[in-house]
């Protein structure tokens, strides 16, 4: 299987800063791969909050993460502050991809990039449901 590759656009609609704590670091002394997903998940929650939503109620529907992929570019270390920038892309009937780019605030060094696949669900059936049009309009405005 070929290695994951992600093309990140020059401009990203959202960014937040998150510090790497000692609990995010593994025995190798750098950002643990599972903790990378934790930091990116926190950034995703902040992305939705910046649009006025919480993940359990995005224009009337909860969302789920359908898939997530990451490509590491360098190590992250305890005490560094990461800038996690995000851009919604590939809108479809049921959701979209949220591209991310993580870099060290002080040096600008890229640490990781990737994408999160987001799907809207119906609260009762717990199955995929179409993306609310009001939310789609918000995402299109970020393009």
The mean pLDDT value for 52-73 works out to 96
Q: Give the whole-angstrom CA distance, residue 133 versus residue 131.
A: 6
How is residue 17 written in tokens?
């800063």
How is residue 19 written in tokens?
């510090």
64-120 pLDDT, tens digit per residue, is: 999 999 999 999 999 999 999 999 999 999 999 999 999 999 999 999 999 999 999
Domains of the chain are 14-141 (3.10.129.10)
Rounded mean pLDDT of the chain? 96
How is residue 26 written in tokens?
């593994």
Q: Give the whole-angstrom CA distance, residue 121 versus residue 25.
A: 34
pTM above 0.85, yes or no: yes
* Residue 83 contacts residue 15 (beta carbons within 8 Å): yes
């Amino acid at each position: 299987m070929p290695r994951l590759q992600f093309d990140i656009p020059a401009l990203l609609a959202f960014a937040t800063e998150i510090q790497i704590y000692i609990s995010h670091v593994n025995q190798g002394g750098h950002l643990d791969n599972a903790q990378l997903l934790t930091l990116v998940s926190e950034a995703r929650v902040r992305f939705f909050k910046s649009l006025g939503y919480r993940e359990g109620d995005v224009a009337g529907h909860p969302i789920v993460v359908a898939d997530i992929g990451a490509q590491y570019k360098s190590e992250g270390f305890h005490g560094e502050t990461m800038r996690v920038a995000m851009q919604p892309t590939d809108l479809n009937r049921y959701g979209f991809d949220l591209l991310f780019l993580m870099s060290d605030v002080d040096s600008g060094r890229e640490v990781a990039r990737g994408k999160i696949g987001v799907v809207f669900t119906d609260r009762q059936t717990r199955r995929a449901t179409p993306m609310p049009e009001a939310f789609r309009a918000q995402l299109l405005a970020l393009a």
